[in-house]
Amino acid sequence: MANTTQAIESLAAEIGENVYIDIAKWHLYLRDAHLHTVVAQQLYSMLEKGNLDTDKVEGVLQGISIKLGGGKREVPLADLIPMQCQVKLMDVLEEFQRKM
């Protein structure tokens, strides 16, 4: 269990440093938005099973709702991450999986 927790924290750190959401041309990295751990937790099992797939990652990001305006509106995380960051996320995940 400790190794899994450490692996998820390591993955979360990588995601948090490399992936951001774009709001009105402001880049808010996932670590600063406190979203990196949630994303890592949901993607880690996919990496463990070796079934990393762009569509599945997109599905996970679609399933994470981000509250805006004090909860007046919810938007899927996938809609806030620019395409180049989604590509970077896949690169991070692929590299992490290779090291597992």
Percent of the chain exceeding pLDDT 70 equals 98
Rounded distance, CA 11 to CA 8, Å?
A: 5
Beta-carbon contacts of 58 under 8 Å, excluding residues fewer than 6 positions away, are 78, 86
Distance CA 38, CA 71 (A): 18
Q: Strand, coil or helix: what is 64?
A: coil
pTM over 0.75: yes
3-state secondary structure of 95: helix
What distance, in Å, lies between the first and last C-alpha atoms of the chain? 15
pLDDT at 1 over 60: no
